[in-house]
Structure 1
């Protein structure tokens, strides 16, 4: 059975803003609360605050960015959150864009996949063995992280394209996708995950898909909501490449055209409850183990009450 989870639909600038969404997960059948990388408050801190306020729920970071923290700090933060919340944590990471790497590191990773592999190696050694001795091209860590009884920490990787999917199959516990149409997940990403897992002799990672969507309602403009939700992503080269592979052509010069293309190509879902329930079921048939409802467009256009109501209605639509 596919789990249904929720994404924080905005980057909070005060940790208490997380509480209504954590409460929604705690009080419904929603599986996990996710948050992407934020430049205001750190998601690990936001989730720990929610736990301290009594909203102890499974959490996921989808995805936080490797240039912002050493893998030792990443392992320590993820473990600390699991201890604080009393629930499992998906610690999802990705290398970020080349401009971000340039701005924080002085140069991009010479090999994106090589850097990710080293990052996961260090994290897994610390989280599973309690120690690691690794001298690599990108990361060095000779350190202990004494084991403590805690809920599991699952290492996730942001996955958009086949080579990263294969690496996730070899090394990660969870593959996290964003803006990926169901057919692309089925035909491109899941086969690559299986290939990597078979080569490494390990189980295929769980697949968690972040799906931007909105319910049809009077006065709403689907193109506007798709644009508000995803224009930033369509301007990034790695997202544009993934979308092109899925048959969706985007251009840095045409945000409105990009939004229409996302709607037409099934990367942004819009429709009534029954229609959205069926279109989300396509992700289950494609191999998704978890569907994460992303109502960022609704939140940014209509505010918090609307986004919370939207999530409640969507949970009902999918029977969660």
Structure 2
């Protein structure tokens, strides 16, 4: 299983772009597979840097390491616009980008952006019917229920980035397996990956004649001898995550009450065992969000570096 870092999350508060680049450089220096950049919502107290712009800046400064977005919200950008931006970044970073996209959730989209959150699977299917050929440089002529798009993008020497979806529900997992390279998840425990995510997306990929899909698991990770304090810190910031519908459904499958119940906290031996269980469940990559004290975060990075190399 590949080990990557979710950079620029801003666990300690708003960050600058140079600080985000430092985190990507740290991931590269420690031999991690990739650095993923989140597209944070435009809420007070959060540095809502544009994920693709940060990926371009970081990729230009830091060679070698893979880069990804986890995830760009589809409703906020027309698929031709997103394709052009992603291909621009892909050119800047030497074809190291994975484009993660998703539709977010109604309690985020409707009050924040004012867009109706209706039939998200249909919307994202249409979105991909425009985005994927546009990324490949093919002409697009699309007039659907949700989207209209006409155009063609030409980027010499640029390879279309692989696309993964933030797919959790059955229909979205089917769509991800049929049309993309996989899913990137958050707040999903081992049982959920094993019994829900992996079998559904794999079956969809097999039916569509596609390769084994990527199952990318995002999780808070803290190597520590004081797990109670680490969990209290996580609960202070993230306990409400389970109230969002999609995440709440995943926690129900897992059989736990809170998002904090699926984070990875403990000694090196405990977390190594957790990662083995994730891999056995079908996870192909872990995106680690480091948290805890500065000492705990440094210890966690050393551990992740050791198991990834």
For normalisation by structure 2, the TM-score amounts to 0.89
Which runs of 5 or more residues in structure 2 are unaligned?
43-47
Aligned pair partner of 2:55 in 47, 62, 68: 47
SS at match of 2:104: coil
Structure 2: how far apart are the matches of 1:219 and 1:280? 17
| Contact map agreement 1:92 1:156 (CA 8 A) in 2 | yes
Change (3 A) 1:77 1:242: same
Q: CA deviation at 1:105?
A: 5.8
SS at match of 1:37: coil
Structure 2: how far apart are the matches of 1:229 and 1:180? 17
SS at match of 1:77: helix
Which residue in the other structure is 2:4 paired with?
5
Q: Tell me, yes or no, if structure 1 residue 237 matches structure 2 residue 245.
A: yes
Structure 1: how far apart are the matches of 2:130 and 2:212? 20
Which runs of 5 or more residues in structure 1 are unaligned?
250-257
Change (3 A) 1:50 1:84: same
Which residue in the other structure is 1:130 paired with?
138
Which residue in the other structure is 2:45 paired with?
none
Q: CA deviation at 1:198?
A: 2.4
Structure 1: how far apart are the matches of 2:120 and 2:263? 27
Structure 2: how far apart are the matches of 1:7 and 1:215? 16
SS at match of 2:176: helix
Q: Tell me, yes or no, if structure 1 residue 285 matches structure 2 residue 280.
A: yes
Deviations 1:81-126 (A, max 9, x none): 1111114211111111113332366442321110111111111010
Moved more, 13-22 or 182-191: 13-22
Which aligned pairs between 1:71-90 and structure 2 lie closer than 5 A? 71-90=79-98
Which aligned pairs between 1:97-136 and structure 2 lie closer than 5 A? 97-103=105-111, 106-136=114-144
Structure 1: how far apart are the matches of 2:92 and 2:265? 37
Q: Tell me, yes or no, if structure 1 residue 313 matches structure 2 residue 302.
A: yes
Q: Tell me, yes or no, if structure 1 residue 173 matches structure 2 residue 168.
A: no
Q: Tell me, yes or no, if structure 1 residue 160 matches structure 2 residue 162.
A: no
SS at match of 1:177: strand
Which residue in the other structure is 1:61 paired with?
69
Change (3 A) 1:148 1:212: same
Structure 1: how far apart are the matches of 2:105 and 2:253? 18
| Contact map agreement 2:227 2:265 (CA 8 A) in 1 | no
The alignment yields a C-alpha RMSD, in angstroms, of 2.2
SS at match of 1:86: coil
Number of aligned residue pairs: give it. 300
Structure 2: how far apart are the matches of 1:10 and 1:25? 14
| Contact map agreement 1:156 1:174 (CA 8 A) in 2 | yes
Change (3 A) 1:154 1:271: same
Structure 1: how far apart are the matches of 2:129 and 2:20? 31
Structure 2: how far apart are the matches of 1:142 and 1:311? 47
SS at match of 2:165: strand
SS at match of 1:202: coil
